[in-house]
Amino acid sequence: MLLLTAIGTLVQIRAAADELDRHDPSPADAVSWFEETPGRFRLEVYVPTKQDAASVEAIVGAAAPELHLKQKKIKDADWVAMSLEGLPAVRAGRFVVAGAHALQGEQGGRTKIWIEASEAFGTGHHGTTWGCLMALEGILRKRRVSRVLDVGAGSGVLAIAAAKRGAEALAIEIDHRAAAIAAINADQNKIANRVRVIAGDGARYIAGKQFDLVFANILMRPLIRLAPKLVRAVEPGGTLILSGLLRSQAPLVREAYANRGLILERQIPKETWMTLVWRKPA
């Protein structure tokens, strides 16, 4: 496994990251960027082979020729844990998400969500997870949430957050290993009695049912494909939160949902990502 890094301005780093995200399939296993010092941003790209590294260099060179990529070899099995280990707590409104090490030092009235770094997506650090939590925060300021559906649950962080505020949540995750981790996380957070985790597509579990809040933090193409089912799953007066999107992909998703009787209430940007909050009229 190789780690490619570059330091540059926000415009340069975002241009490179956006161009890498547009490639499907991508030569990169993971792409992230963040502000390292005021006004200076860092791009990190993980690739499996030297050939993929060369492809990334070509893509970045075309998008932001001013950037200089540095290359470093890392252990294949450890790159996810290495990138997440020791991450600070993430605060999103009334919620704080972290591993046990960081939660110990948390004071105040925020709702604590214990999520350890693992292969299941969703530690709160990604812009899409943060956006969904902020969307939930906005909803809870207006009303209670009772019945929640979390499609593509990953670590279960969103279902757990809703359950900690009193909801009953159904978390669906197609990856069986991630679903097992979500179940463990629900148990560790002491709300396993309010979070049901389903491994698989879960279609038969939601057929004919409606929820007052539906999360779908997945990818653009499945969001568009699942639009009819997701809209049907929202009860009148309920909310649909969509994420897993690049800002550049948001218009296509908005188009897929705009003519299905929903009202776009809010858009929550975070770095290169966008979260869309829809309401179904009562």
Both tokens assigned to 6:
């570059």
pLDDT of residue 22: 82
Q: Tell me which CATH code domain 2-82 carries.
A: 3.30.70.100
Residues paired with 148 in a beta bridge: 169, 213
Q: Tell me whether residue 188 is exposed, middle or buried, using C-beta atoms within 10 angstroms of its C-beta: 0 to 12, 13 to 18, 19 or more.
A: middle
Alpha carbon distances (Å) from 39 to 19, 36, 87: 21, 8, 22
Cβ atoms of residues 150 and 170 within 8 Å: yes
Per-residue pLDDT of the chain (282 residues; tens, 9 = 90+): 888 999 999 999 989 988 887 877 778 877 777 777 778 888 888 888 999 999 999 999 999 999 999 998 876 544 445 444 445 567 777 888 877 666 666 666 788 888 876 544 444 456 788 899 999 999 999 999 999 999 999 889 999 999 999 999 999 998 888 889 899 989 999 999 999 999 988 778 888 899 999 999 988 889 999 999 999 999 999 999 999 888 889 999 999 998 899 999 999 998 778 999 999 998
Cβ–Cβ under 8 Å, residues 241 and 276: yes
Fold (CATH) for 120-279: Rossmann fold (3.40.50)
Write out the residue limits of the CATH 3.40.50.150 domain(s) in the chain: 120-279
Residue 78: per-residue pLDDT: 47
Element containing residue 43 per DSSP (H, E):
strand 40-47
pLDDT of residue 100: 67
Q: Tell me the whole-structure pTM to 2 decimals.
A: 0.68
Domain with CATH 3.30.70.100 in the chain: 2-82
